[in-house]
Structure 1
Amino acid sequence: MKHIIFAILSGLLLAFGWPTYGFPVLLFIGFVPLLLVERHIRLSDIKWKKWSIFAYSYLSFVIWNFITTNWLQYADVFGASFAILVNSMLMAILVVTYHSIAKRATVNISLLFLMCLWMAFEKLHLGWDFSWPWLNLGNGFSEYFTWIQWYEYTGTFGGTLWVWLVNILVYKLMVKYQHQKSVKDLKSSGIVILAVLILPIIISLTIYHTYTIKGEQVNVIALQPNIDPYSEKYNVPNEDIADMLLRLADTKINAQTDLLVAPETVFADNVKIKELENAYFKRKLDVYVSEHPNLNFLTGISFINFITDKELVKKQSNYHNSGFWYDDYNSAMMLNASDEVQLYHKSKLVVGVETLPYQTIIKPLIGDFMIDLGGTLAMKTTQEERTAFHTTNPNLRVGPIICYESVYGEFVTGYIRNGANVLAIITNDAWWGDTQGHKQHLSYARLRAIETRRDIVRSANTGISALINAKGDIMSSLPYDTQGALSGTLTTNEKMTFYTWAGDYIARIAIFIALFVFLITMFRKARV
């Protein structure tokens, strides 16, 4: 019973340390009860130790995953169940792997392995086909962003490292207390824990209060049309959507407006790329832009491209039962006074909604399980490079981040390396209703601002649209489920942060260490 209580406690501590409702200090002790359970089982004489550890770990992580991400069920129950149960299973496997190493290595080596293995797992979640980095530990400080201003040097993996260091130190303190039963002998360990906990916060607060945002000021408007994606979005012609957006824009626009931003796939009635120029809604937008010659209009749009040459069929191309192939795109489009239409195609896709993972293996086994959230049910086609949109203002270059892409730190740095000095996030968070989903998604945008030191304009279909500065402050916002337009001023930045230049270097070092420890340890005889 004690093991069950400790496992539940770990799950609750991790869950109630999570944004946007939680207090992240709980993350620093969240793994301790579970580590104590693993140690007790490892040193005991019970049978089926690995299965016991897996069961208790799985319980902890299901609690954490369910409380923090159960809002996925409002889009799709199967998708939510899969994400929660499978992600919890993978996390539990990490603890079992640590258990195997702990039997063969010293305490410090095995705990170092666990910390590095966890970061390797988080890095995997940023790159593989079943990508789901929502619960990467570094994301847990997004509401307490004044604590992690040093993310401009480390990215979110600096936060993961911080969480694990404190958990390990507290765990070792607990084990030491169990042996000594004396508080006096624990003072030095307690001082070290406080130092590791508090010093990064002090450094961050110093950075926050001394950092100066410098650059050219640009005037922006974020549109929030508040369209119901389940009953309205895919049934309204693009021409009517254009009229709505322009009416909203008229409430805020002036001669000094540089950038107008509309949400992801707001033009949801699939447009053939080759026929874009002749589309009636596009002509309406062109007229509006011509009436405001300084304006740059960035909007989300759904494209389709029919493939006439079979040699051009890609892995992400879709086969229609009528006998033809086509590419389906979730894209960002930039219009301005120039004749060039700039496009970017979303490249970090939502599993099961926009992409079928490992389709050559999975599709023959279980068929096509793509989740229908309205519109065209098809795999999206991506592009290799991040695109920085150029504008009529020579001082403004915009990185168009589409929805889920904003969760990926190193991915977003690609826009900066390609010249973006302001970031625009276009998204549609309406699938989850008024839950933690859209709140967490907005909160994570703060992390991208700090990592890259770029101001962000965020246009969300149903909200929350916001303007975020390079320190992570939300300068202004529109409430959820509200139609409107948000105007304000952003500041450009031409400098690259260390993280923008180096990326997830902490994770890469962790992968090397974890692999090294695993290889030299697993062939040893168990110590206990």
Structure 2
Amino acid sequence: MLNINFSKLRKKRSYFWILSILSGLMSAAVWYTPFIILVPIIFTPLLEIENLLYERGAKRSTWALFKFVFVSFLICNLGVYWWIWNVASWLSFLAWLINTALLTLPFLVYHTIKKKSVDKLGPFTFVCCWLAFEYLHKYGPFAWIWLDLGNLFSGVPILVQWYEYTGVLGGSLWVVLLNVWFYQVLFQQRGLIGFFLVLFIPSVWSFLLNFGTYSTDKSITVIAVQPNIDPYAQKLNYKKTNTSAKDTYMASDLQFERLMQLSESVLSHKVRLILWPETSMVSGFEDAYIRRYDEINTIRNWYKKYPYISILAGADTYTVYGSKKGSQEAYHIEGLGYIDAFNAALFTKKSAPVEFYYKSKLVIGEETMPFSPALSSFVLDLHGTPRPSVKNHDIKVLETAFGVKVAPIICYESVYGDYVGDFVRKGAQIITIITNDGWWGNTRGYQKHLNYARLRAIEHRRPVIRSANVGVSAFIDTKGSIYQKLDYDTMGALKGEVLLNNRLTFYSKYGDYLGVISMILTIFLILSQFVNKEDEDEQKTSSGDGKKT
């Protein structure tokens, strides 16, 4: 048992600030894989702060706790995803501040419950509060689940093969439990055996699951194209300086020609599916007249020689309403009238109409703003074509000409495990991700986004094929291992065999059940405080009546 005397340190005025900053630095560092060993201690300093404020009965203790936790998470936010500055300098400040404030909520709710609880609920209440927060946060107006704790293990999938049972929330549960137990070991001198059990049991379980087989003998040959077209200087007539990119801009027909050439460089009669990245077709297609566009007709000419291929391609599409506003999200474009714009995936195959899938999880600031249509003017114009304005509400599984069912995931949607599960529950045998991670530049952003795809493969035991504009395109197996990839800032095309799987995992069937359970428990704990208060009032009233008698 650790035998450390913190009494002298606790008397120092700077003690709380040291703990706050230390927690922030560790919470930021742990997102870099070499520092994953810090996982059990990232929240330990904050739990110490919370407990001392509680024990001392400090006035305005909730406000005091908010200050220290806010500073800690602000350091974490800046350290983990500083790279969003490359996309939106002024909006990044807003993102950091809002997400930091939201991350304080589990600590504040836990502290409030603890202060008002008659039976002095232990620190494990914090586990419920944190999991409930992560679950609800993904459905909120400022959903940014990049920092969900279960994502910490995206770079070391061998540790979390059991995500097929729990999803990422299981990893969050593991992290918070480790911190709660380590806090007891370090500051309360108890719980050492429990800590090691929580540390090693999931690790051993994951190691054993890694020996399993999670695919069938059936396979499909797939091509993933990476055109490597700079999103600022070449892809769109846009620069961060808001000046024209005429000198470097690549015309849409030349971009399309590159996609065709890269595909043909590895195309064979064995190929059944070709992926082109998000917004790879930038001309802007009016969906009602999609068959009239030259690009679509050029693709269809392929089917004369390769009748069994299907193509999934990212594109900007729109619906024109004219002088009448056809939907709440529609906005006016000079010369067109009111339109709805979509970040879409087009799916084509021989002797079938073009199918559309529209992106559902839009990126705040780049593609959407919460609450009011009036805020839409603040959405960054990164597209040159009409910016996406409408979310998709339909889960659409696409079926190739060869009969393989495909989940068409677009960019940020790949961060949502249960959302991807909706496609798997509808029969998807493989997960495809088309994305454009070039907005962030050569930073940690695209690396983490790639690794999150590995978690989707484990959760649903489905192969993942990723086509990215500037990288990283990759083939990922059902254990989250990358077996083919094209590095960042590289032009090329991958071709590989993908083993199919039809089995539903426990997580695929039941989704984020851990979040639902935690939310119910947290609501119960909050409501119980009102019941306890009423009981206390009745006791006081009875005591007063007794004295009068």
For the aligned pair, the TM-score class normalised by the smaller chain equals over 0.9
The aligned residue for residue 505 of structure 2 is 497
Structure of greater Rg: 2
The 10-residue stretch of structure 1 (207-216 or 418-427) with the greater mean CA deviation from structure 2: 207-216
Q: Match of 1:193, as an amino acid?
A: F
Q: 1:194 to 1:456 in 2, by over 3 A?
A: same
The aligned residue for residue 214 of structure 1 is 216
Please tell me whether the aligned partners of residues 224 and 461 of structure 1 are also in contact (alpha carbons under 8 angstroms).
yes
The aligned residue for residue 241 of structure 2 is none
Deviation at 1:523, TM superposition (A): 6.2
1:37 aligns to 2:37 (yes or no): no
TM-score (ref. length: structure 2):
0.89
The 10-residue stretch of structure 1 (373-382 or 490-499) with the greater mean CA deviation from structure 2: 373-382
Tell me how far apart the structure 1 counterparts of residues 120 and 173 of structure 2 sit (CA, whole Å).
15
Tell me how far apart the structure 2 counterparts of residues 257 and 108 of structure 1 sit (CA, whole Å).
63
The aligned residue for residue 180 of structure 1 is none
Tell me how far apart the structure 2 counterparts of residues 503 and 380 of structure 1 sit (CA, whole Å).
28
The aligned residue for residue 55 of structure 1 is 67
Question: Deviation digits for residues 337-389 of structure 1, max 9, x if unmatched?
Answer: 223212101111101211121115xx2xx672112223235342222222111
Q: Secondary structure at the match of 1:301?
A: strand
The aligned residue for residue 204 of structure 1 is 206
Give the % identical residues: 35
The aligned residue for residue 274 of structure 2 is 260
The aligned residue for residue 299 of structure 2 is 285
Tell me how far apart the structure 1 counterparts of residues 355 and 87 of structure 2 sit (CA, whole Å).
31
**Equivalent position to 1:7, from 20, 33, 45:** 20
Tell me how far apart the structure 2 counterparts of residues 328 and 17 of structure 1 sit (CA, whole Å).
39
Deviation at 1:275, TM superposition (A): 2.1
- Aligned residue runs from structure 1 range 435-446, under 5 A: 435-446=443-454
Deviation at 1:287, TM superposition (A): 1.3
Q: Secondary structure at the match of 2:379?
A: coil
Please tell me whether the aligned partners of residues 351 and 357 of structure 1 are also in contact (alpha carbons under 8 angstroms).
yes
The aligned residue for residue 392 of structure 1 is 401
The aligned residue for residue 368 of structure 2 is 355
Question: Deviation digits for residues 194-238 of structure 1, max 9, x if unmatched?
Answer: 111111110111011123432411111110001111121124444
Tell me how far apart the structure 1 counterparts of residues 213 and 180 of structure 2 sit (CA, whole Å).
32
Please tell me whether the aligned partners of residues 314 and 434 of structure 2 are also in contact (alpha carbons under 8 angstroms).
yes
1:332 aligns to 2:332 (yes or no): no
The aligned residue for residue 3 of structure 2 is none
Q: Secondary structure at the match of 2:327?
A: coil
**Equivalent position to 1:375, from 384, 399, 414:** 384
Deviation at 1:301, TM superposition (A): 0.6
Q: Secondary structure at the match of 1:210?
A: coil
Question: Deviation digits for residues 176-206 of structure 1, max 9, x if unmatched?
Answer: 22xxxxxxxx4xx212111111111101110
Q: 1:108 to 1:136 in 2, by over 3 A?
A: farther
- Aligned residue runs from structure 1 range 61-460, under 5 A: 61-105=73-117, 109-177=121-189, 186=190, 189-235=191-237, 236-308=250-322, 310=324, 313-320=326-333, 324-359=337-372, 363=374, 368-376=377-385, 378-394=387-403, 396-460=404-468
Q: Match of 2:522, as an amino acid?
A: A
The aligned residue for residue 487 of structure 1 is 495
Please tell me whether the aligned partners of residues 138 and 160 of structure 1 are also in contact (alpha carbons under 8 angstroms).
yes
Please tell me whether the aligned partners of residues 418 and 511 of structure 2 are also in contact (alpha carbons under 8 angstroms).
yes
Deviation at 1:260, TM superposition (A): 0.9
Please tell me whether the aligned partners of residues 151 and 452 of structure 2 are also in contact (alpha carbons under 8 angstroms).
yes
Number of aligned pairs? Answer: 510
Tell me how far apart the structure 2 counterparts of residues 199 and 105 of structure 1 sit (CA, whole Å).
32
CA RMSD of aligned residues (A): 2.1
Q: Match of 1:486, as an amino acid?
A: L
Q: Which runs of 5+ in 1 are unaligned?
A: 178-185
Q: 1:106 to 1:190 in 2, by over 3 A?
A: farther
Tell me how far apart the structure 2 counterparts of residues 428 and 55 of structure 1 sit (CA, whole Å).
37
Q: Which runs of 5+ in 2 are unaligned?
A: 1-13, 238-249, 537-549
Q: Secondary structure at the match of 1:488?
A: strand
The aligned residue for residue 546 of structure 2 is none
Deviation at 1:487, TM superposition (A): 1.2
Q: Secondary structure at the match of 2:236?
A: helix
Q: Secondary structure at the match of 1:213?
A: coil
Tell me how far apart the structure 1 counterparts of residues 497 and 335 of structure 2 sit (CA, whole Å).
50
The 10-residue stretch of structure 1 (116-125 or 148-157) with the greater mean CA deviation from structure 2: 116-125
**Equivalent position to 2:523, from 508, 515, 526:** 515
Q: Secondary structure at the match of 1:209?
A: coil
Deviation at 1:45, TM superposition (A): 5.8
The 10-residue stretch of structure 1 (261-270 or 319-328) with the greater mean CA deviation from structure 2: 319-328
Q: Match of 1:69, as an amino acid?
A: Y
Deviation at 1:330, TM superposition (A): 0.6
Tell me how far apart the structure 2 counterparts of residues 421 and 316 of structure 1 sit (CA, whole Å).
33
The aligned residue for residue 181 of structure 1 is none
